[in-house]
Copies of this chain bind each other. A is one copy, B any other.
Amino acid sequence: MAQALRHDAMRAGNLAVVLGALDRDGPLTRAALAEATGLTKTTVSKLVADLIDAGMAVESGAVRDGERGRPGVAVHLSGHRVAALGLEINVDYLAGCVVDLSRTARLFRTQAVDNRAASPEDVIAGLRDLAISMLADAAGHGLSVAGGIVALPGPVDRSTGTVHSAPNLGWRDVPVADALALPLPVLVDNEANLAALGELWFGSGAALGDFLHVSGEIGIGAGLVVDGALFRGAHGYAGELGHVVVSPDGPACRCGGTGCLERYAGQDALLPAGEDLAGLVARLRAGDPSAVAACERAGSALGIALTTAVNLLDPDTIVLGGIFAPLFPWVSGPAEATMHRRLGQIRARVPALVVSQVGADAAPLGGAGQVIQRIIADPGAHLLAPQP
């Protein structure tokens, strides 16, 4: 239910309105902020002063726009103080990044390890070491890290910070957030969801409108971004594109069904035993007919599943990430052809397929960005004591 509004909520809300305007529309003078938000110049000045005290905004020089009249002082988001930590546990690596309030990635770290061979405790201890050292680095840069999110390859319970099952890691019900025991609030989320947010803030972003981000890995997940926020469904398990039915009489899937998308376009279906992704791409570049045919099959199946997704979710754009990013030139054509054949008559516009602009770090970047997003949406709760 909507919360009761008291004076402090009004102030917190207006602080968020101003910070949000700075985030969206770049550097703005106080006068421009007043015009954009509908608040008076007086109020904006007071709010901006608070944001500057908290280290969330800074003044840059005067704006000489050639107009006559006194020039304004541009104010923009400050990346000097507030930051967030994004972490990822995946099958063969750990990764982390620190992103500042202006959504600039400040630190990166990746560590190749075989997490299938190790126990969850050891993996989490390794991630903890990586996180602690990044926090120290961040502190060295004067950054105060307000929170973190761990990206995990499987369905999670966000309220308890637990990963329910991560089949590719062999994990079940691991309380990742608690076990990490970092000295800051830590959340968990699904890798596919966070990768979608990574694309929003560190990739093609707002130009995509509402988009569906497809993460091709061993499984196939998808994250739908609507109005700048994830659509999660009732229990947080929306976007399971991998088990959308492509052909009800198709081959059996590990989920118990038959003919799921994963059996046609998942990593195991695309890569012959023993070959890795780089090998497949090399064969595709060389024009190997069997590799091209495999991608065509996968692309057509993907087109069927995406047709269904468009009918149900109605996105503006569809972004292909994960293994589909390097395979995009060979997969997107057949998928797009299928979609146009099936949707062309009933939709005014068939969503375009585009390739992800973020690399392997999409998930931790999206996680850190999500924390930043929360801070911008409620700066009042994160007003730090002004530093000397």
A17 touches B39 (CB 8 A): no
A243, CB-defined interface residue at 8 Å: yes
Stretch in A134-142, A179-187, A231-239 touching the partner: A231-239
A205, CB-defined interface residue at 8 Å: no
A226, CB-defined interface residue at 8 Å: yes
CA distance A313 to B304 in the complex (A): 17
Chain B residues contacting A308 (CB-CB under 8 Å) are: 244-245, 308, 312
How many whole Å from A271's CB to the nearest CB in chain B?
Answer: 23
Task: Kindly state the interface size class of chain A when it binds its partner.
Answer: 35 or more
Chain B residues contacting A348 (CB-CB under 8 Å) are: 164, 235
B342 touches A257 (CB 8 A): yes
Chain B residues contacting A1 (CB-CB under 8 Å) are: 17, 20-21, 24
CA distance A5 to B360 in the complex (A): 40
**CB within 8 Å for A16 and B3 given contacts A245-B307, A312-B240, A344-B256:** no
Main secondary structure of the interface of A (DSSP, over half): loop
**CB within 8 Å for A342 and B256 given contacts A234-B209, A234-B314, A304-B245:** yes
How many copies of the chain does the oligomer comprise?
2
* B-facing residues in A276-305 (Cβ within 8 Å): 304
B238 touches A4 (CB 8 A): no
Chain B residues contacting A251 (CB-CB under 8 Å) are: none
**CB within 8 Å for A248 and B312 given contacts A4-B37, A20-B1, A342-B255:** no
CA distance A6 to B14 in the complex (A): 9
1/0 per residue, CB under 8 A from B, across A240-263: the answer is 110111111100000111100000
A13, CB-defined interface residue at 8 Å: yes
| Residue with the greatest number of chain B CB neighbours at <10 A, chosen from A4, A235, A243 | A4
A226 touches B234 (CB 8 A): yes
Chain B residues contacting A14 (CB-CB under 8 Å) are: 4-5
Chain B residues contacting A226 (CB-CB under 8 Å) are: 231, 233-234
* B-facing residues in A340-382 (Cβ within 8 Å): 341-349
In-complex Cβ contact of A233 among B9, B249, B315 (8 A) = B315
A133, CB-defined interface residue at 8 Å: no
B347 touches A237 (CB 8 A): yes
Chain B residues contacting A256 (CB-CB under 8 Å) are: 341-342, 344-346
In-complex Cβ contact of A255 among B13, B346, B349 (8 A) = B346
A316, CB-defined interface residue at 8 Å: yes
CA distance A239 to B346 in the complex (A): 13
Chain B residues contacting A66 (CB-CB under 8 Å) are: none
A346 touches B245 (CB 8 A): no
CA distance A314 to B238 in the complex (A): 5
B312 touches A241 (CB 8 A): yes
In-complex Cβ contact of A10 among B10, B16, B233 (8 A) = B10
A309, CB-defined interface residue at 8 Å: yes
In-complex Cβ contact of A244 among B222, B236, B258, B311 (8 A) = B311
A314 touches B233 (CB 8 A): yes
B244 touches A246 (CB 8 A): no
A38, CB-defined interface residue at 8 Å: yes
The 4 closest A-B pairs by CB, nearest first: A233-B314, A210-B234, A257-B342, A256-B345
**Please, could you name 8 A-B residue pairs with CB atoms under 8 Å apart, sorted by A?**
A1-B20, A4-B17, A231-B231, A233-B313, A234-B315, A243-B307, A245-B246, A247-B247
